[in-house]
Amino acid sequence: MVASSKSGQLEVPLNWLFILIAGGAILITFFAFIQRQQSASELSIAENLVSDLESIASVAGTAKGTAQQIDFPEEDITIGCTPDCSCLFSIGAISKPFGTNLIYSPNLIRGPNLVLYSIDWNVPFRANNLLILTNSRTRYILITPTLTPPINRLISIIPNMTNLRVAKGPEAQTAKNQRQPEGKIRFIYFSQGQCDDFRGIELDEQDFSCLEVDLEKHTLDFYYRNRAGTILGPDRQTYLSEGDLIGALFTESPDQYRCNSQAEMLRLANLASVYQRRAANVTTSTCGKSYTDAATQFERLATEARKAENASKLLLHYSILSNLSEEFIRLSCKPELF
Amino acid sequence: MPKKHTASPRVFQEQRAQMEIMGLTIIILLVSIGILFAIGIISKPTEDIKRGYEQKQLAVNFLTTLLDTTSGCQLNTFRQLLMDCATDRIVTCPGGLDSCSYAKTSFRTIFSRTLDPIRKGYYLSVDGPQAVKSITQGSFGTSATPTPCPGERDQATQPIPTLGGGTIITRLEICDRPPQ
Amino acid sequence: MAKSHKLGLRPYFLRRIRGTATAGRHLPRSGQDYNRKAQIQMFETVAVLVIFFFLIAFGLSFYFLVSKTQASKEYERTLQLRSITFTQKIATLPELDCVRVTVQVERCFDSLKTDAFRHILQNPGIKDDYFALFGYSNVTIQEIFPSVHTYQLYDRALPNASASIPTTIPILLRNPHKNTYSFGVLRVTLYA
């Protein structure tokens, strides 16, 4: 009786011990498997989102002059270029290069929506479609004491859904004190020396950027905040036409603007070569005008665009071609110049 | 004291065995259902986005492009030829053909160079005044009486208003089934 | 004694193991009986565990098979989307598009520009510039009516490509001299 009771006492705890060990091993296996699947699933979701974003950007970029707002999950989309022009957009651990899309955007966009606005880049012929990517959380404040015709034109082109607001007159003075509880704010001035004043004002890290535009000299001065909270700038760039000026209004990073400009110039150079050859192959026209001069101008434009050094020379060829085209249209010349 | 009625050990063991068998049966059922689901998912055909998009776009783009093409008959587009066919038929095309015959022959040439090589069936229906109906053609039926696509198809429709000839309705069907 | 008769048909060894062979009398079981009982119980437990893990392995292998199938379907879907967006991009290229009095005409290519573009793409440097756009693909424009002509715009094959996705869309080919429109097709083959 004593022996059997001792065995019974040993059997039960050993049984439970065995159950605990086996059960523990099973649970650990399952938990490890679930953890792994969870991280794989997150990667898969990020990959799908990035692919979808790439497709959306590609298709939106083909439809010029359109603005649309789409729902997007509440994920952080990081968009930017390195100084050597490796331009990527990322969600989580997944990144994809821009490809041939020219995207102008803030550095960080967070859902729940995306605003896509595509515009022509006409120099003076359509050379590309530029895509502006932003969202309703990012505010753009265009500050000007008076509304001149060029500024008015800009405002009339840019759709309301891009969250661009104009502060003019007395409101321009107090616009600097705007605070943003969440999201980003970007100030745009049409005079020099305004963005420097922000150096003394406390703003939340990375929610601020500033741009000074000189409409006469076609220059852009970018001011932005680095991770340490220091305001850097001015980083001076130039713009050729309305399209890239509008792009600059929405781009925080001067590197991103510069890299897009380089891509634009290369495209412009090749396109100008196409037009040059086209003009050179025109043997007869309905209005008697010669296309040789136009072919020469296209060739010079292509050469300057490849160098991408001198914005004023590019602007000169741009305006000569623009005038030539108007003349050809006025005289109803066929084929058209472009 | 009344005797307690308890199950005998034998009955208890039989019940326990039945419960075990029931448990095993449930497991087998669950595993079978799981396997069926898995087979269902594995054998589900891939959603063909491209084919759906391409076919739909092909019908719409083909018809619009066809009608905007310059016919080679006095610099008229096919749209203008159809309008002439529906009304006065004053246009004379190369080879002495009228606008209706020229359009029909040209459409046949275009289809033979585009849809026939890629084995896509089609049915072009031109509805309106009697004269334009003769332009109707397709890969199914006979050349005299062509028939619409059998089975699945994607279609596009374009109305062409005319002055005094009513409205011509052109409809192009791109068939899923290849031509006979 | 009457009770033992009722139990008499049951195999003796079962009754021994379950302790009923003693017919209700409380007699001590032998060590051998305990060992045998323990062994059988262990065997049962191990057998259950083996079957359990076998079922788990079976289920996991099915799960991975389904995941693999879904991943390959997703890859196909991505490829198809890529080919659609690629074709749309080609169809709206400024190097090819028709412009009439500064207005872009949809689904239309300028034949003079097409020929010029084809020519400049023969320059290896410029062909490399357009690699970011065209990638590994074949882009051909075929004039169908009234005349027949082929413009082989770009061709760069991918060695050991696992898939080639052709897309065809009809387009107008504009002759800017005469302002006439030919019927043409744009054939794009994407290699992956």
Q: How far apart are alpha carbons B137 and B146 in whole angstroms?
A: 6
Judged by average pLDDT, the poorest of A224-233, B32-41, C159-168 is A224-233
- Say yes or no: C28 contacts chain A, CB-CB below 8 A: yes
- % chain B with pLDDT above 90: 44
Mutation target vs A (from C56, C112, C126; most A CBs, 10 A cutoff): C112
Query: Mean pLDDT over residues A72-82, rounded?
Result: 88
Query: Mean pLDDT over residues B21-37, rounded?
Result: 87
Chain-centroid distance of CA A247 in Å reads 8
Looking at per-residue pLDDT, the higher value among B116 and C28 belongs to B116
Nearest to B175 by CA among B129, B101, B118: B118
ipTM reported for the complex surpasses 0.95: no
The whole-number pLDDT of residue C77 equals 83
Residue C123 Cα, gap to closest chain B Cα (Å): 31
CA distances to A153, C72, C185, C187 from C164, rounded to whole Å, are 47, 16, 18, 12
Query: Mean pLDDT over residues B63-92, rounded?
Result: 93
pLDDT > 70? residue A203: no
Domain range summary for chain B, segments of one domain joined by +: 7-44, 49-175
The whole-number pLDDT of residue C158 equals 92
Which of the four pLDDT bands, split at 50, 70 and 90, describes residue A271?
Answer: very high
Residues of chain A neighbouring C88 (CB-CB closer than 8 A): 58-59, 62
pLDDT > 60? residue A242: yes
pLDDT > 60? residue B4: no
Phi (first) and psi of residue C30, to 5 degrees: -85, 160
Residues of chain C neighbouring B41 (CB-CB closer than 8 A): 66, 69-70
Which of the four pLDDT bands, split at 50, 70 and 90, describes residue C25?
Answer: low
Residues of C with CB under 8 A from a CB of B: 10, 18, 20, 55, 58-59, 62-63, 65-66, 69-70, 73, 76-77, 80-81, 83-84, 107, 144-146, 148, 165, 167-172, 178, 180-183, 185
Which of the four pLDDT bands, split at 50, 70 and 90, describes residue B178?
Answer: confident
Query: For the CA atoms of chain B, what is the radius of gyration?
Result: 33
SS (H, E, C) chain B: CCCCCCCCHHHHHHHHHHHHHHHHHHHHHHHHHHHHHHHHHHHCCCCCHHHHHHHHHHHHHHHHHHHHCEEEECCEEHHHHHHHHHCCCCCECHHHCEHHHHHHHHHHHHHHHHCCCCCCCEEEEEECCHHHHCCCEECEECCCCEECCCCCEEEEEEEEECCCCCEEEEEEEEECCCCC
CB A93 within 8 A of CB A46: yes
pLDDT > 90? residue A276: yes
* pLDDT tens profile A131-161: 999 988 888 989 888 888 989 999 998 998 8
Q: How far apart are alpha carbons A116 and A136 in whole angstroms?
A: 11
- % chain C with pLDDT above 90: 40
Looking at per-residue pLDDT, the higher value among C9 and A255 belongs to A255
- Which residues are within 8 A (CB) of C67 and not within 5 positions of it... i.e. 6 or more apart? none
The whole-number pLDDT of residue C63 equals 83
The whole-number pLDDT of residue A233 equals 77
Residues of chain B neighbouring C85 (CB-CB closer than 8 A): none
Q: How far apart are alpha carbons B71 and B78 in whole angstroms?
A: 6
- Strand, coil or helix: what is C152? strand
Question: Searching chain C, which residue's CA lies closest to the CA of residue A18?
Answer: C45
Which of C146, C167, C170 has the CB atom closest to B65's CB atom?
C170
Q: Are residues A125 and C99, on separate chains, in Cβ contact within 8 Å?
A: yes
The whole-number pLDDT of residue C4 equals 46
DSSP A196: G
* pLDDT tens profile B100-158: 999 999 999 999 999 988 888 999 999 988 889 999 999 988 888 888 888 888 899 99
- Which residues are within 8 A (CB) of C131 and not within 5 positions of it... i.e. 6 or more apart? C156
Whether there are 3 or more C-beta pairs closer than 8 Å between A and B is no
Whether there are 3 or more C-beta pairs closer than 8 Å between C and B is yes
The DSSP bridge partners found for residue B174 are B122, B154
pLDDT > 80? residue A16: yes
Which of C62, C169, C183 has the CB atom closest to B66's CB atom?
C183
Residue B150 Cα, gap to closest chain C Cα (Å): 23
**Which pair of tokens denotes residue A22?**
């086996």
Query: Mean pLDDT over residues B154-165, rounded?
Result: 88
Which of the four pLDDT bands, split at 50, 70 and 90, describes residue C175?
Answer: very high
Residues of chain C neighbouring A4 (CB-CB closer than 8 A): 28-29, 34
Q: How far apart are alpha carbons B142 and B151 in whole angstroms?
A: 18
Which of the four pLDDT bands, split at 50, 70 and 90, describes residue A248?
Answer: very high
Q: How far apart are alpha carbons C151 and C189 in whole angstroms?
A: 14
DSSP A84: T
Question: Searching chain A, which residue's CA lies closest to the CA of residue C79?
Answer: A51
Chain B with chain C: Cβ pairs closer than 8 A: 89
Q: Are residues C169 and B75, on separate chains, in Cβ contact within 8 Å?
A: no
The whole-number pLDDT of residue C184 equals 96
The whole-number pLDDT of residue C1 equals 44
Which of C20, C148, C170 has the CB atom closest to B62's CB atom?
C170
Q: Are residues C112 and A271, on separate chains, in Cβ contact within 8 Å?
A: no
Q: How far apart are alpha carbons B152 and B134 in whole angstroms?
A: 25
Looking at per-residue pLDDT, the higher value among C81 and B169 belongs to B169
Q: Are residues B110 and C181, on separate chains, in Cβ contact within 8 Å?
A: no
Q: Is the dihedral of CA B108, B114, B118, B124 positive or negative?
A: negative
Nearest to A119 by CA among A127, A108, A105, A130: A130
Q: How far apart are alpha carbons B65 and C106 in whole angstroms?
A: 10
Q: How far apart are alpha carbons A232 and A230 in whole angstroms?
A: 6
Judged by average pLDDT, the poorest of A28-37, B11-20, C140-149 is B11-20
The whole-number pLDDT of residue A182 equals 65
Looking at per-residue pLDDT, the higher value among A329 and A245 belongs to A245
Chains with at least 3 CB pairs less than 8 angstroms from chain B? C
The whole-number pLDDT of residue B143 equals 81
Residues of chain A neighbouring C89 (CB-CB closer than 8 A): 58, 61-62, 100
Judged by average pLDDT, the poorest of A203-207, A235-239, A243-247, C53-57 is A203-207
Q: Are residues C107 and B64, on separate chains, in Cβ contact within 8 Å?
A: yes
CB A188 within 8 A of CB A143: yes
The whole-number pLDDT of residue A45 equals 85
pLDDT > 80? residue A44: yes
Q: Are residues C107 and B65, on separate chains, in Cβ contact within 8 Å?
A: yes
Query: Mean pLDDT over residues C81-99, rounded?
Result: 89
